[in-house]
Structure 1
Amino acid sequence: MNITVKLHRQPSRTSEPTYQTFEIEADPTRTTVLDVLIRIQSEQDGSVGFRRNCRNAICGSCAMRINGRSGLACQKHISEVMGEHDTELVIEPMQNLPVIKDLIVDMTKFWDNLHKVDPYVSTASRQISKTEYLQTPAQRAKLQAAANCILCGSCYSECNSAAVSDRFVGPHALAKAYRVMADNRDDRTEERVEKYNESGFVWDCTRCYNCNEVCPVEVQPLDRISQIKHEILANRDLPESMPQRHRHTLLDLVKEDGWIDESKFAVRLVSDDFKDLKALLGIFPVGIRMLLSGKIPYPWQFKKSEGAAETKALIEAIASAKNK
């Protein structure tokens, strides 16, 4: 089969990106994207730049965007990434990181963000004199998914929050953060929960699900982020942050009415039920515009859900079961 490859080219950091087209003959069911790149580099243009190493989806070096979706070039066969009606195989560098050359990106920010979560079992807990620190199969299973992360960068490349916020550490870092939190050998869990409750960590995640979709080794970073959130919400000693209040306010309103009364939501969330009048005045103009445009109902228009009582009973039953 003749395959048209549209390849992102950028000779240096300061160069304007362009695309170069190559034609290559390959069996789409047996040829990987990395095979294609190696053949282009060895047979047609030796200046093409990309990273590769193990060719077994272990090292993560060959992460790139393939037909608009990040993944490992060594793992993806042509038949997987080219749809029935696709005419080109488009290969580009990962997003959210500066390009050094062609498909090679500067991973400095990626590694710096990882270090922000301190993804190592604490030194103090490893000071063991005579025997190993053993784990049961159940204890190991708790952290297994996060431990599978190969730090390829695919999730970071597709992260919407990382695209718009320099402070967000990224799904890769938070997956590793949960891996340490879930490890019974670590002795800094409380400190970690407090840290990850700060701005730039779990509450900055937009829950777009892209990280789960592209992860090549099924770490499911969004699930790990959610698990950290559960640990934060279970810690009643932490001062209530705005994201926590958002969650509590939403839950309280659903318990009261069966669904959310938007006219109450902003007042409770931002002003803490009129305790912060300055904050309330700050959202007043927005609230008026939303009322006039029909985005939220007038207070006298809102009606409780017919199943409000059942909804409240269900929420309370779940909360009771969790506390046992």
Structure 2
Amino acid sequence: MEVIFKVIRQQENSSPVVQTYLLDAESGNTILDCLNRIKWEQDGTLAFRKNCRNTICGSCAMRINGRSALACKENIGSELARLQQILSLASKASTIPEITVAPLGNMPVIKDLVVDMSSFWNNLEAVAPYVSTAARQVPEREFLQTPLERSQLDQTGNCIMCGACYSECNAREVNPDFVGPHALAKAYRMVADSRDSDTENRLESYNEGTKGVWGCTRCLYCDSVCPMEVAPLEQITKIKQEILTHKQADDSRSIRHRKVLIDLVKEGGWIDERQFGLQVVGNYFRDLKGLLSLAPLGFRMLCRGKFPMSFEPSQGTQQVRLLIESVQQEERLETKN
């Protein structure tokens, strides 16, 4: 069948242009197969990265029809079926199907589909993605792990550093200090590794401002595009839980936000907004600057009759409390095991 490929091409520091290629392809051909044919048969100047062609190296990550993926993993048939489902293209079956290919996001373009991944690698290095045994003496034999200890590393160990999650990260797009989901997924691997001797310092670093785990917007894009099911957001959440276990509520606003939210929901079934602002921003009346920052908003709410003068617990508060406590109990048991 005939397929139109629209490739977003760009030179460094220039505006992107769309170049169209018509290709006779089969439904089982991968996107990388098609790009190879375009380069070999139609346009030798087209630039893109590739290596293993077997979803192992991560080199061929790019945006395919608006979402980051591996070109060697996605094929024509599945991609067109996905497009039909999203865009309801069944009524346009007589037209030639189109596939748009673009470079990864959140990284500057070098040429065509090749991006500069310096920030990606620099942010990975920032989380010290290697086991630290500095506090230990040199052992007479290697550090051994039980099968259970090793199994804790399986999911994050599957990461192939393709950059798909980093490309789609909304937090990274608006906050250049955020290290990215790939780095924090690797960070959790170090936290979970029984051989590592630097957990406390790691958690302190990952807890810093919006550079670490608290910079994540929880948009779930990283999980949805990861070709290896690493689930970076899940790993970020696990780091947050470790931090919350080690820290007190008055250590930072980010920690208070999580702890206060849970406590208020347990108490009333939903959030008492008056208490939430005072406890999170005002740090239980101990942060005068924070309390003063709430005054303008509180005044506007009062003037417009939107300030709640009382709080009514929700129906089923007891059931909500029992559910939260059951989850917390399960988390404590998992931590012990």
Q: TM range, normalised to the smaller chain?
A: over 0.9
> Given the alignment, which residue of 98, 103, 110 partners 1:88?
98
Flag structure 1 segments of 5+ consecutive residues without an equivalent: none
Letter in 1 for 2:16: P
Flag structure 2 segments of 5+ consecutive residues without an equivalent: none
Corresponding position of 1:7: 7
> Given the alignment, which residue of 243, 250, 270 partners 2:254?
243
> Given the alignment, which residue of 276, 290, 294 partners 1:283?
294
Corresponding position of 2:208: 198
> Given the alignment, which residue of 297, 300, 315 partners 1:306?
315
Q: Whole-Å Cα distance in 2 between the matches of residues 198 and 146 of structure 1? A: 22
Q: Whole-Å Cα distance in 1 between the matches of residues 147 and 171 of structure 2? A: 35
Q: Whole-Å Cα distance in 2 between the matches of residues 287 and 210 of structure 1? A: 35
Contact 2:244 2:255 in 1 (8 A): yes
Q: How far 1:240 moved relative to its partner?
A: 1.6
SS in 1 for 2:131: coil
Q: Encode CA deviations 1:246-301: one digit per residue, 9 max, x unaligned.
A: 0111122112211112232112211123332332221222234456667x55223x
- Equivalenced residue count is 320
Corresponding position of 1:101: 111
Q: Whole-Å Cα distance in 2 between the matches of residues 127 and 4 of structure 1? A: 61
> Given the alignment, which residue of 185, 191, 198 partners 1:188?
198
SS in 2 for 1:271: coil
Letter in 1 for 2:256: R
Letter in 1 for 2:321: K
Q: Please tell me whether residue 156 in structure 1 is matched to residue 156 in structure 2.
A: no
CA RMSD after TM alignment: 2.1
Q: Whole-Å Cα distance in 2 between the matches of residues 276 and 66 of structure 1? A: 48
Which runs of structure 1 show a deviation greater than 6 angstroms over 4 or more consecutive aligned residues? none
Q: How far 1:44 moved relative to its partner?
A: 0.6
Alignment of 1:259-278 (within 5 A): 259-278=270-289
Contact 1:126 1:185 in 2 (8 A): no
Q: Identity of aligned pairs, percent? A: 51
Give the direction of change, closer, same or farther, for the CA distance of 1:16–1:272 in structure 2 (3 Å limit). Answer: same
TM-score by length of 1: 0.92
Q: How far 1:13 moved relative to its partner?
A: 1.1
Q: How far 1:123 moved relative to its partner?
A: 4.5
Corresponding position of 2:221: 210
TM-score by length of 2: 0.89
Contact 2:103 2:112 in 1 (8 A): yes
Letter in 1 for 2:24: E
Letter in 1 for 2:257: H
Q: How far 1:127 moved relative to its partner?
A: 6.2
Q: Encode CA deviations 1:28-76: one digit per residue, 9 max, x unaligned.
A: 2x10000111010011110000000000111110000000000100010
